[in-house]
Structure 1
Amino acid sequence: MEPNFEMEEAAMALGALRVAGVDEVGRGPLAGPVTAAAVVLDPANIPDGLNDSKQLSAKRRNLLGEALTSSADISVGHASVEEIEQHNILRASHMAMLRALAGLRLRPDYVLIDGSMVPQGLNLRAQPVVKGDTRCLSISAASIIAKIARDKIMVDLAQQHPGYGWETNMGYGSKSHISALRNLGVTPHHRRTFKPVHHMLYQDKIVKP
Protein backbone atom coordinates (compact mmCIF):
# COMPACT_ATOMS: atom_id res chain seq x y z
CA MET A 1 0.00 0.00 0.00
CA GLU A 2 1.36 3.41 -0.96
CA PRO A 3 0.95 6.46 1.29
CA ASN A 4 -2.05 8.66 0.63
CA PHE A 5 -3.54 12.02 1.67
CA GLU A 6 -6.55 10.65 3.55
CA MET A 7 -5.39 11.57 7.06
CA GLU A 8 -4.63 15.12 6.01
CA GLU A 9 -8.04 15.40 4.37
CA ALA A 10 -9.72 14.05 7.52
CA ALA A 11 -7.98 16.72 9.60
CA MET A 12 -9.00 19.41 7.12
CA ALA A 13 -12.60 18.20 7.31
CA LEU A 14 -12.40 18.98 11.03
CA GLY A 15 -11.28 22.53 10.29
CA ALA A 16 -7.51 22.25 10.04
CA LEU A 17 -5.96 24.55 7.44
CA ARG A 18 -2.30 23.57 7.72
CA VAL A 19 -1.53 19.91 8.42
CA ALA A 20 2.10 19.04 9.12
CA GLY A 21 3.67 15.62 8.82
CA VAL A 22 6.64 14.89 11.10
CA ASP A 23 9.22 12.11 11.03
CA GLU A 24 12.71 11.50 12.34
CA VAL A 25 15.76 9.60 11.21
CA GLY A 26 18.79 8.48 13.15
CA ARG A 27 17.50 6.80 16.29
CA GLY A 28 19.60 3.69 15.77
CA PRO A 29 23.09 4.88 14.73
CA LEU A 30 26.10 4.83 17.03
CA ALA A 31 27.19 8.30 15.92
CA GLY A 32 25.74 11.62 14.86
CA PRO A 33 22.62 13.58 15.76
CA VAL A 34 19.03 12.52 15.50
CA THR A 35 17.22 14.58 12.87
CA ALA A 36 13.55 15.34 12.33
CA ALA A 37 11.63 17.13 9.61
CA ALA A 38 8.23 18.77 9.48
CA VAL A 39 6.45 19.21 6.15
CA VAL A 40 3.21 20.98 5.25
CA LEU A 41 2.26 19.87 1.75
CA ASP A 42 0.37 22.04 -0.72
CA PRO A 43 -2.70 19.89 -1.49
CA ALA A 44 -2.72 21.28 -5.03
CA ASN A 45 0.96 20.54 -5.67
CA ILE A 46 2.06 17.23 -4.12
CA PRO A 47 5.11 15.68 -5.82
CA ASP A 48 4.52 12.24 -7.32
CA GLY A 49 6.30 9.26 -5.80
CA LEU A 50 6.46 10.25 -2.13
CA ASN A 51 7.14 7.22 0.06
CA ASP A 52 9.07 6.06 3.08
CA SER A 53 12.61 7.33 2.51
CA LYS A 54 14.01 3.84 3.11
CA GLN A 55 12.10 2.62 0.06
CA LEU A 56 13.73 5.17 -2.24
CA SER A 57 17.14 5.39 -3.86
CA ALA A 58 19.38 8.31 -2.90
CA LYS A 59 18.89 9.81 -6.36
CA ARG A 60 15.10 9.57 -6.08
CA ARG A 61 15.15 11.03 -2.56
CA ASN A 62 17.19 13.99 -3.72
CA LEU A 63 14.87 14.68 -6.65
CA LEU A 64 11.85 14.55 -4.35
CA GLY A 65 13.66 16.72 -1.82
CA GLU A 66 14.14 19.40 -4.48
CA ALA A 67 10.48 19.17 -5.46
CA LEU A 68 9.37 19.47 -1.83
CA THR A 69 11.66 22.43 -1.21
CA SER A 70 9.95 24.35 -4.00
CA SER A 71 6.36 23.27 -3.29
CA ALA A 72 5.96 22.73 0.46
CA ASP A 73 6.71 24.40 3.78
CA ILE A 74 9.58 22.34 5.22
CA SER A 75 11.75 22.58 8.31
CA VAL A 76 14.46 20.43 9.89
CA GLY A 77 15.41 20.08 13.54
CA HIS A 78 18.21 18.19 15.27
CA ALA A 79 19.10 16.89 18.70
CA SER A 80 22.81 16.58 19.40
CA VAL A 81 24.81 13.62 20.65
CA GLU A 82 25.11 15.45 23.99
CA GLU A 83 21.33 15.76 24.23
CA ILE A 84 20.88 12.09 23.31
CA GLU A 85 23.23 11.16 26.15
CA GLN A 86 21.73 13.62 28.63
CA HIS A 87 18.15 12.52 28.04
CA ASN A 88 17.61 9.38 25.96
CA ILE A 89 17.14 8.70 22.27
CA LEU A 90 13.33 8.83 22.43
CA ARG A 91 13.26 12.17 24.22
CA ALA A 92 15.96 13.53 21.93
CA SER A 93 13.94 12.43 18.89
CA HIS A 94 10.94 14.30 20.23
CA MET A 95 13.08 17.39 20.88
CA ALA A 96 14.18 17.30 17.23
CA MET A 97 10.53 17.00 16.15
CA LEU A 98 9.50 20.02 18.23
CA ARG A 99 12.36 22.05 16.77
CA ALA A 100 11.37 21.08 13.23
CA LEU A 101 7.78 22.16 13.84
CA ALA A 102 8.93 25.45 15.37
CA GLY A 103 10.93 26.20 12.23
CA LEU A 104 8.02 26.10 9.79
CA ARG A 105 7.19 29.39 8.10
CA LEU A 106 3.64 29.30 9.44
CA ARG A 107 2.39 27.48 12.52
CA PRO A 108 0.44 24.31 11.65
CA ASP A 109 -2.88 23.63 13.33
CA TYR A 110 -2.74 19.84 13.11
CA VAL A 111 0.22 17.47 13.24
CA LEU A 112 0.57 13.89 12.02
CA ILE A 113 3.52 12.25 13.78
CA ASP A 114 5.24 9.04 12.78
CA GLY A 115 5.19 6.56 15.66
CA SER A 116 2.98 5.75 18.61
CA MET A 117 3.61 8.83 20.78
CA VAL A 118 3.00 12.57 20.69
CA PRO A 119 6.07 14.51 21.89
CA GLN A 120 5.74 15.98 25.36
CA GLY A 121 5.32 19.73 25.15
CA LEU A 122 3.62 19.81 21.75
CA ASN A 123 0.83 22.34 22.15
CA LEU A 124 -0.94 21.52 18.89
CA ARG A 125 -3.64 19.10 17.92
CA ALA A 126 -1.74 15.97 16.98
CA GLN A 127 -2.20 12.36 15.96
CA PRO A 128 0.45 9.65 16.19
CA VAL A 129 0.52 7.34 13.17
CA VAL A 130 2.26 3.98 13.49
CA LYS A 131 4.31 3.31 10.33
CA GLY A 132 3.16 6.71 9.15
CA ASP A 133 5.97 7.04 6.61
CA THR A 134 4.34 4.26 4.58
CA ARG A 135 0.74 5.44 5.11
CA CYS A 136 0.64 9.23 5.10
CA LEU A 137 2.04 11.48 2.36
CA SER A 138 3.02 14.33 4.70
CA ILE A 139 4.96 11.96 6.94
CA SER A 140 6.56 10.32 3.89
CA ALA A 141 7.69 13.77 2.78
CA ALA A 142 9.11 14.46 6.24
CA SER A 143 11.00 11.17 6.21
CA ILE A 144 12.63 12.14 2.91
CA ILE A 145 13.64 15.62 4.07
CA ALA A 146 15.00 14.30 7.38
CA LYS A 147 16.99 11.56 5.67
CA ILE A 148 18.57 13.95 3.18
CA ALA A 149 19.50 16.42 5.93
CA ARG A 150 21.04 13.84 8.26
CA ASP A 151 22.92 12.05 5.47
CA LYS A 152 24.55 15.34 4.52
CA ILE A 153 25.68 15.86 8.11
CA MET A 154 27.19 12.38 8.26
CA VAL A 155 29.00 12.81 4.92
CA ASP A 156 30.48 16.08 6.22
CA LEU A 157 31.51 14.42 9.51
CA ALA A 158 33.10 11.56 7.56
CA GLN A 159 35.50 14.05 5.99
CA GLN A 160 36.53 15.27 9.45
CA HIS A 161 36.82 11.74 10.86
CA PRO A 162 37.86 9.40 8.03
CA GLY A 163 37.95 5.66 8.48
CA TYR A 164 34.57 5.04 10.10
CA GLY A 165 32.66 4.87 6.82
CA TRP A 166 30.05 7.40 7.87
CA GLU A 167 29.66 8.52 4.26
CA THR A 168 28.06 5.13 3.53
CA ASN A 169 26.88 3.67 6.87
CA MET A 170 25.59 7.05 8.16
CA GLY A 171 26.76 6.18 11.65
CA TYR A 172 24.95 2.86 11.94
CA GLY A 173 26.79 -0.04 13.53
CA SER A 174 28.04 -1.80 10.42
CA LYS A 175 30.88 -4.31 10.69
CA SER A 176 33.32 -1.80 9.22
CA HIS A 177 32.17 0.88 11.68
CA ILE A 178 32.58 -1.45 14.67
CA SER A 179 36.02 -2.46 13.39
CA ALA A 180 37.01 1.20 13.01
CA LEU A 181 35.84 1.89 16.56
CA ARG A 182 38.23 -0.78 17.81
CA ASN A 183 41.11 0.43 15.69
CA LEU A 184 40.64 4.20 15.72
CA GLY A 185 38.78 4.77 18.98
CA VAL A 186 35.74 6.82 19.92
CA THR A 187 35.14 10.30 18.47
CA PRO A 188 33.20 13.18 20.06
CA HIS A 189 30.37 12.35 17.66
CA HIS A 190 29.85 8.82 19.00
CA ARG A 191 26.94 8.14 21.35
CA ARG A 192 28.63 6.94 24.50
CA THR A 193 25.43 5.61 26.05
CA PHE A 194 24.86 3.19 23.15
CA LYS A 195 26.04 -0.31 24.04
CA PRO A 196 28.80 -0.95 21.46
CA VAL A 197 30.41 2.42 22.19
CA HIS A 198 29.83 2.18 25.95
CA HIS A 199 31.37 -1.29 26.11
CA MET A 200 34.36 -0.16 24.10
CA LEU A 201 34.98 2.77 26.43
CA TYR A 202 34.53 0.91 29.67
CA GLN A 203 35.49 -2.70 28.99
CA ASP A 204 38.93 -2.12 30.49
CA LYS A 205 37.44 -0.41 33.55
CA ILE A 206 35.15 -3.24 34.62
CA VAL A 207 36.19 -4.46 38.00
CA LYS A 208 35.70 -8.20 38.28
CA PRO A 209 34.38 -9.51 41.64
Structure 2
Amino acid sequence: MQIFSAHVRNLWNEWEIRVLVLLSLTFQVILIIFGSKRKHARSSFISIIVWLIYLSADWIATVSLGTLANNLGDENGGKEEDRNKMLQSLLAPFLLLHLGGPDTITAYALEDNTLWLRHLLGLLVQASVAFYIFLLSWTTGALSIITVPVIVSGIEKYAERTWVLRSTSSDQFEDSLILAPTPQPLDLKHVPDDSELQFLHQGYSLFPMLKRLYASLSLRFA
Protein backbone atom coordinates (compact mmCIF):
# COMPACT_ATOMS: atom_id res chain seq x y z
CA MET A 1 0.00 0.00 0.00
CA GLN A 2 1.52 3.31 -1.10
CA ILE A 3 1.05 6.35 1.11
CA PHE A 4 1.68 8.80 -1.74
CA SER A 5 0.40 8.37 -5.27
CA ALA A 6 2.71 8.09 -8.26
CA HIS A 7 1.74 11.61 -9.36
CA VAL A 8 2.74 13.09 -5.99
CA ARG A 9 6.04 11.20 -5.99
CA ASN A 10 6.86 12.30 -9.52
CA LEU A 11 6.00 15.89 -8.64
CA TRP A 12 8.23 15.74 -5.56
CA ASN A 13 11.12 14.23 -7.56
CA GLU A 14 10.83 17.11 -10.01
CA TRP A 15 10.69 19.87 -7.38
CA GLU A 16 12.73 18.27 -4.60
CA ILE A 17 16.02 20.05 -5.21
CA ARG A 18 14.29 23.39 -5.79
CA VAL A 19 12.41 23.14 -2.50
CA LEU A 20 15.54 22.12 -0.57
CA VAL A 21 17.67 24.94 -1.99
CA LEU A 22 14.96 27.55 -1.36
CA LEU A 23 14.53 26.23 2.18
CA SER A 24 18.29 26.43 2.77
CA LEU A 25 18.32 30.00 1.42
CA THR A 26 15.39 30.91 3.69
CA PHE A 27 17.26 29.57 6.71
CA GLN A 28 20.30 31.68 5.79
CA VAL A 29 18.19 34.83 5.50
CA ILE A 30 16.63 34.17 8.92
CA LEU A 31 20.08 33.69 10.47
CA ILE A 32 21.33 36.89 8.84
CA ILE A 33 18.41 38.89 10.24
CA PHE A 34 18.10 37.36 13.71
CA GLY A 35 21.55 35.81 14.27
CA SER A 36 22.98 38.82 16.10
CA LYS A 37 19.69 39.90 17.69
CA ARG A 38 19.44 36.79 19.87
CA LYS A 39 22.06 38.20 22.27
CA HIS A 40 19.94 41.15 23.37
CA ALA A 41 16.41 40.03 22.48
CA ARG A 42 14.00 40.10 25.39
CA SER A 43 11.73 37.47 23.93
CA SER A 44 12.86 33.86 24.14
CA PHE A 45 10.94 33.17 20.93
CA ILE A 46 13.74 34.65 18.80
CA SER A 47 16.36 32.58 20.62
CA ILE A 48 14.37 29.39 20.07
CA ILE A 49 13.85 30.15 16.37
CA VAL A 50 17.53 30.94 15.85
CA TRP A 51 18.52 27.78 17.72
CA LEU A 52 16.24 25.58 15.59
CA ILE A 53 17.32 27.23 12.33
CA TYR A 54 21.00 27.05 13.31
CA LEU A 55 20.74 23.30 13.94
CA SER A 56 18.71 22.68 10.76
CA ALA A 57 20.61 24.88 8.29
CA ASP A 58 23.66 22.62 7.94
CA TRP A 59 21.48 19.53 7.66
CA ILE A 60 19.35 21.02 4.86
CA ALA A 61 22.42 22.15 2.89
CA THR A 62 24.05 18.73 3.30
CA VAL A 63 20.90 16.91 2.14
CA SER A 64 20.64 19.27 -0.83
CA LEU A 65 24.20 18.48 -1.90
CA GLY A 66 23.53 14.76 -1.64
CA THR A 67 20.33 15.10 -3.66
CA LEU A 68 22.16 17.09 -6.34
CA ALA A 69 24.85 14.43 -6.64
CA ASN A 70 22.24 11.67 -6.81
CA ASN A 71 20.16 13.43 -9.46
CA LEU A 72 23.15 14.19 -11.66
CA GLY A 73 24.39 10.61 -11.37
CA ASP A 74 21.02 9.24 -12.54
CA GLU A 75 20.74 11.44 -15.65
CA ASN A 76 21.57 9.82 -18.99
CA GLY A 77 21.98 12.82 -21.27
CA GLY A 78 19.78 14.84 -23.57
CA LYS A 79 19.43 18.56 -24.25
CA GLU A 80 16.94 19.15 -21.45
CA GLU A 81 19.09 17.28 -18.95
CA ASP A 82 22.19 19.18 -20.11
CA ARG A 83 20.43 22.46 -19.35
CA ASN A 84 19.50 21.13 -15.91
CA LYS A 85 23.12 20.15 -15.32
CA MET A 86 24.30 23.65 -16.19
CA LEU A 87 21.85 25.20 -13.73
CA GLN A 88 22.47 22.66 -11.00
CA SER A 89 26.23 23.14 -11.31
CA LEU A 90 25.76 26.60 -9.78
CA LEU A 91 23.76 25.28 -6.84
CA ALA A 92 26.59 23.19 -5.31
CA PRO A 93 28.97 26.12 -4.58
CA PHE A 94 26.10 28.22 -3.24
CA LEU A 95 25.25 25.38 -0.86
CA LEU A 96 28.87 25.42 0.29
CA LEU A 97 28.41 29.11 1.03
CA HIS A 98 25.34 28.19 3.07
CA LEU A 99 27.41 25.65 5.01
CA GLY A 100 29.88 28.43 5.74
CA GLY A 101 27.06 30.25 7.51
CA PRO A 102 26.32 33.98 7.71
CA ASP A 103 28.65 36.40 9.47
CA THR A 104 26.01 37.24 12.08
CA ILE A 105 26.32 33.83 13.76
CA THR A 106 29.22 31.38 13.61
CA ALA A 107 28.34 29.36 16.70
CA TYR A 108 25.19 29.47 18.80
CA ALA A 109 26.99 28.73 22.09
CA LEU A 110 30.57 28.49 23.31
CA GLU A 111 30.27 24.71 23.42
CA ASP A 112 29.80 24.65 19.65
CA ASN A 113 33.39 25.83 19.19
CA THR A 114 34.68 22.49 20.46
CA LEU A 115 33.06 20.81 17.42
CA TRP A 116 35.51 22.37 14.97
CA LEU A 117 36.94 18.95 14.08
CA ARG A 118 33.46 17.83 13.00
CA HIS A 119 33.20 20.92 10.79
CA LEU A 120 36.65 20.19 9.35
CA LEU A 121 35.52 16.70 8.41
CA GLY A 122 32.33 18.17 6.97
CA LEU A 123 34.41 20.62 4.94
CA LEU A 124 36.45 17.80 3.39
CA VAL A 125 33.39 15.67 2.64
CA GLN A 126 31.10 18.42 1.33
CA ALA A 127 33.84 20.05 -0.73
CA SER A 128 34.50 16.65 -2.33
CA VAL A 129 30.79 16.23 -3.08
CA ALA A 130 30.62 19.73 -4.57
CA PHE A 131 33.66 19.01 -6.74
CA TYR A 132 32.05 15.72 -7.81
CA ILE A 133 28.90 17.61 -8.82
CA PHE A 134 31.04 20.15 -10.65
CA LEU A 135 32.73 17.41 -12.67
CA LEU A 136 29.43 15.72 -13.52
CA SER A 137 27.84 18.96 -14.66
CA TRP A 138 30.85 20.34 -16.53
CA THR A 139 30.19 21.61 -20.03
CA THR A 140 32.01 23.92 -22.38
CA GLY A 141 29.51 26.69 -21.72
CA ALA A 142 30.19 29.97 -19.94
CA LEU A 143 28.01 28.94 -16.99
CA SER A 144 30.41 26.16 -16.03
CA ILE A 145 33.32 28.59 -16.15
CA ILE A 146 31.46 31.00 -13.88
CA THR A 147 31.02 28.16 -11.41
CA VAL A 148 34.78 27.95 -10.75
CA PRO A 149 35.19 31.19 -8.72
CA VAL A 150 31.89 30.52 -6.94
CA ILE A 151 32.98 27.08 -5.76
CA VAL A 152 36.33 28.50 -4.62
CA SER A 153 34.45 31.15 -2.62
CA GLY A 154 32.22 28.46 -1.10
CA ILE A 155 35.19 26.36 0.04
CA GLU A 156 36.89 29.47 1.41
CA LYS A 157 33.77 30.48 3.34
CA TYR A 158 33.34 27.02 4.85
CA ALA A 159 37.06 26.85 5.73
CA GLU A 160 36.85 30.30 7.34
CA ARG A 161 34.02 29.14 9.60
CA THR A 162 36.00 26.05 10.62
CA TRP A 163 39.07 28.16 11.39
CA VAL A 164 37.05 30.61 13.50
CA LEU A 165 35.52 27.74 15.50
CA ARG A 166 38.99 26.29 16.11
CA SER A 167 40.46 29.67 17.08
CA THR A 168 37.71 30.32 19.64
CA SER A 169 37.65 26.84 21.16
CA SER A 170 38.56 26.61 24.84
CA ASP A 171 41.91 24.89 24.23
CA GLN A 172 43.07 27.41 21.64
CA PHE A 173 41.81 30.29 23.76
CA GLU A 174 43.80 29.07 26.75
CA ASP A 175 46.95 28.51 24.68
CA SER A 176 46.75 32.01 23.24
CA LEU A 177 46.53 33.49 26.73
CA ILE A 178 49.48 31.45 27.97
CA LEU A 179 51.63 32.82 25.13
CA ALA A 180 50.35 36.35 25.68
CA PRO A 181 52.20 38.76 28.03
CA THR A 182 51.13 38.65 31.66
CA PRO A 183 48.73 41.53 32.46
CA GLN A 184 50.26 44.25 34.61
CA PRO A 185 48.70 46.13 37.55
CA LEU A 186 46.74 49.27 36.83
CA ASP A 187 48.56 52.58 36.63
CA LEU A 188 46.08 55.44 36.76
CA LYS A 189 48.49 58.27 37.50
CA HIS A 190 48.31 59.63 33.96
CA VAL A 191 44.52 59.45 33.85
CA PRO A 192 42.76 62.76 34.56
CA ASP A 193 40.47 63.03 37.56
CA ASP A 194 37.38 62.28 35.55
CA SER A 195 35.27 59.44 36.92
CA GLU A 196 33.85 58.22 33.60
CA LEU A 197 37.26 58.20 31.92
CA GLN A 198 38.76 56.34 34.87
CA PHE A 199 36.05 53.69 34.75
CA LEU A 200 36.59 53.26 31.01
CA HIS A 201 40.35 52.93 31.47
CA GLN A 202 39.91 50.48 34.33
CA GLY A 203 37.54 48.32 32.30
CA TYR A 204 39.95 48.27 29.35
CA SER A 205 42.89 47.42 31.63
CA LEU A 206 41.04 44.67 33.48
CA PHE A 207 39.85 42.93 30.32
CA PRO A 208 43.08 40.85 29.85
CA MET A 209 42.81 39.72 33.47
CA LEU A 210 39.17 38.76 32.96
CA LYS A 211 40.15 36.60 29.98
CA ARG A 212 42.75 34.75 32.06
CA LEU A 213 40.25 34.18 34.86
CA TYR A 214 37.72 32.91 32.32
CA ALA A 215 40.29 30.36 31.12
CA SER A 216 41.05 29.35 34.76
CA LEU A 217 44.58 30.74 34.54
CA SER A 218 46.35 32.33 37.48
CA LEU A 219 47.20 36.01 37.73
CA ARG A 220 50.85 36.57 38.56
CA PHE A 221 52.16 40.09 38.23
CA ALA A 222 55.76 40.77 37.41
Normalised by the length of structure 2, the TM-score is 0.26
Higher relative contact order (CA closer than 8 Å, sequence separation 6+): 1
| Greater per-residue strand proportion | 1
- Larger Rg: 1 or 2? 2
Q: Would you tell me which structure has more helix in proportion to its own residues?
A: 2
